A and B are shown apart, each in its own frame.
Chain A
Amino acid sequence: MHTARSSAAPRRRFAAVAAPLLAAALLATAACGDGGKNTPAAGGKVDLTIGTFGEFGYKALYDEYMKANPNVKITERITKTEDHHKNLAAHLATNTGAADIESIEEGWVGQFSSQPGKFYNWMDYGGAEIKAQWPEWKWRQGSAATGEVIGLGTDVGGMAMCYRTDEFAAAGLPTNRDEVSKLWPTWEDFITTGQKFEDAVKAGKVKNAHFMDGPAVMYRSILGQQSVGIYDGDKVVVETNPGVKKAWDLTIDAMNKGLSAKIAAWSNDWNAGFAKGTFATLACPSWMMAYIQSQAKDSSGKWDIAAVPGGGGNWGGSFLTLPKQGKHPQEAAALAKWLTAPEQQAKVFRSVGNFPSTVTLYQDPVIKDFKNPFFSNAPVGEIFSKSVTSMVPQYMGPKSGDINTAVINGLTRVEQGKQTPDQSWAQVLKDIKAIM
């Protein structure tokens, strides 16, 4: 449920060749349109469907819920991340085929929250009483610019800085995670540290490595820390907002100073880079830990995790929504509220590792004492909790994803030497106008 739509870098990794099939899918949907509607079965039973993607870790919870509520029958439909969101859009457009509960990933939530009329408003279903469970920013992400709340938070990503201890040691930098965190309270300090690292590379102390992977993840991390991002309310403010330009300028500065390995996130070279140590740092949300482990199985113990520069941050995480097509909003709301309640989030974390979005859980030993042996036993529960609680709320608009792609393309053009930073920024603004 995490990897999903990273507004950094190609978001459509799993889209593959799904597009041509979508037309067919739409037709199929029209043909068997009532797949998502609940028809109360005999004995007054309520059939609830829930649409998820990736791994939400809800399997065991359904059984538990059905045991406690014998009048409810739950069916889960799991689809690939990309397809799930595109299908959901089609189902909402055709007003048929959506499940009673539909999950939405952070990268897409802006697109859907721009049409709050398609969903039941959580404020009408007891949202106000449970609002305090979530950090303010998570609640805001699930809300429309006009105030309706369409999504309850499931998990979050948090943000930290993953780094290679072996390469830091070779470069003469500290390797202890607390000392490393102290190296970069701000992104400017991060760049200064990077220059020291690159000096060591030039001196031959570290071989075949750069300080960071490429521009996308760094840009995405800095942007996420600004109080105003792509959108101010429902207006796109990239051109006038110093926050976006700050993220752009810092990333350009890092590239100009030669810190970047010039690798696009999610590319083959990126995947290979984890194992070969091509880059010494990578800003990483909690779900990235599993990704790094799968790409660099042999480098256990070489990675560690420190705090991210510039304070908190988040990347990824999902929401549960109730499409208005659903015939049993009361029952669906009860189930979704139960699934996102703290006890259930703790269970999900224990079984599949999705980082909870419930603030109170961060004091719970389950999270607080959680260490990851692959990352030199870093207390990742504590690190990610800290970043989540100190994160500033930022509104995600309907075009956030596409606009971020345009900005990251602009950074990539500079990196590939196709344009100067100024030329590229001018083209970014032009591209954004075309998207609007």
Chain B
Amino acid sequence: MKNILYRLDLKGSPYLYIAPFFVLFGLFGLFPLVYTAWVSLHDWQLISDTHTFIGLQNYRDLFADDSFWNALRNTGQIWVLSTVPQLIAAIFLAHVLNQRLRAATFWRITALLPNMTSVAAVALIFGQIFGRDYGLVNFVLGLFGAGHIDWQAGTASSQVAISVMIIWRWTGYNSLIYLAAMQAVPKDLYDASALDGATGLQQLTRITIPAIRPTIILTVILSTIGGLQVLAEPLLFGGASPTGGSDRQFQTLSLYLYEVAFSRFDFGYASTAAWAMFGVIVIAAIVNYFFVSRLRRS
């Protein structure tokens, strides 16, 4: 008897120890995923009781849906517009924070402040800053004699405005991640290069950046995930309209999903869009993976 209990403990207990993760993952990760797939195969209006099975029709509709491709394109454009300047700025900011500064902790906390601000507040304030008639940006442009820009109307201008919100919010966050990585770079490398007469910029490009490359890859991956989920910024920039502008010029994938699900109450189609988004994220992850492994080899 004791022997059996002992063996049960040996064989069974480990499963119990890891069970919490799998139970939670099954409940909040796997089940919604599978259920969404099931819903996506139906004509499923949220408040209707009849859900007709229609097979892959939703997917056929989605791939022929201009609004979906438009949203995908916008998401990609906003991602590039926001990530590239953001990561470059973050590296420089981290480089500055890595110098000997008075009240270093204070500056580091300051860098994180924008990230702690509620995204709704950020979007509302930037919405005012980019206002057409009474916005701050147009006011400043006016001082230099430039004409007023209707930020919301244009495709490029609206996406730039949204990217600025994202950049403002996330630059400090990324710079702190870089800073942590930079502090692990051996100091004697800098001392040696200083003896050889290297400038600050040379130290940054020749020593710091190669040394923190894995961290840069990490932030690129993080911002890819974040970039595919941009929702609040375009939603609030468009005055809470889920269409993202009069011509959907700044409607992201998440916003399109939101429009279909919570404005049209069409859960079947929204689930299809959600799975398409999942597919896009998987593709992005695969691209990232090859990118990273090539970088590692080089």
User: Which A residues have a C-beta under 8 Å from some C-beta of B?
Assistant: 9-17, 19-20, 22-23, 86, 89-90, 92-93, 111-112, 115, 117-118, 263-264, 266-269, 272-273, 276, 278, 399, 401-402, 405-406, 409-410, 412-413, 416-419, 434-435
The 23 listed contacts between A and B (C-beta, < 8 Å) are A11-B241, A12-B263, A14-B240, A15-B242, A16-B232, A16-B236, A16-B240, A93-B47, A111-B47, A267-B239, A268-B127, A268-B131, A268-B134, A278-B133, A401-B263, A405-B241, A409-B243, A409-B247, A410-B246, A412-B246, A416-B150, A418-B246, A435-B264
> By CB atoms of chain A within 10 A, which of B128, B132, B241 has the most?
B241
B203-247, CB under 8 A of A: which get 1 and which 0? Answer: 000000000000000000000000000011001101111110111
A17 touches B150 (CB 8 A): no
Interface residues on chain B, size class:
35 or more
Q: With A and B bound together, what is the CA distance between A122 and B132 in angstroms?
A: 48
In-complex Cβ contact of B46 among A16, A90, A402 (8 A): A90
Our pick among B153, B231, B241 for the contact of A10 (Cβ within 8 Å) is: B241
Binary interface encoding of chain B residues 248-266 relative to chain A, with 1 for a CB under 8 A from any of its CBs, else 0: 0000000000100111110
B119 at the A interface (CB under 8 A): yes
Interface class of chain A by DSSP? helix
- The smallest C-beta distance from A227 to any residue of chain B, in angstroms, reads 26
Q: Which chain A residue has the least Cβ–Cβ distance from B255?
A: A19
Chain B residues closer than 8 Å to A402, beta-carbon distance: 263-264
Q: Which residues of B contact A410 (CB under 8 A)?
A: 246
Inter-chain contact count A-B, CB under 8 Å?
103
Q: Is A12 touching B131 in the complex (CB atoms < 8 A)?
A: no
Asked whether A268 lies within 8 Å of B247 as measured between CB atoms, the reply is no
Contacts of A269 in B (CB 8 A): 131-134
Whether a CB of chain A sits under 8 angstroms from the CB of B298 is no
**B188 at the A/B interface (Cβ < 8 Å)?**
no
Knowing A16-B120, A16-B232, A268-B127, the reply to whether A89 touches B239 (Cβ < 8 A) is no
Q: How far is the CA of A376 from the CA of B152 in the complex (A)?
A: 36
Q: Once the chains are docked, how many angstroms separate the CA of A19 from the CA of B274? A: 14
B288: A residues at CB distance < 8 A: none
Shortest Cβ-Cβ A-B pairs, 6 listed: A10-B241, A412-B246, A416-B153, A10-B239, A12-B240, A409-B246
| Chain A residues within an 8 Å CB radius of B65 | 434
Chain B residue numbers with a CB within 8 Å of A399 are 264
Q: A13-B240, A90-B46 are in contact. List 11 more A-B contacts (CB 8 A).
A: A9-B239, A10-B239, A15-B235, A15-B240, A17-B119, A17-B232, A17-B235, A115-B49, A118-B47, A266-B239, A272-B134
What is the chain A residue whose CB lies nearest that of B265?
Answer: A89
Q: Is residue B67 within 8 Å, beta carbon to beta carbon, of the partner chain?
A: yes
- Using Cβ atoms and an 8 Å threshold, which residues of chain A touch B238? 10
Q: What 0/1 pattern do residues 57 to 79 of B give for CB contact below 8 A with A?
A: 00000000101000000000000
A92-B47 in contact (CB<8A): yes
CA distance A227 to B128 in the complex (A): 39
B199 at the interface (CB under 8 A from A): no
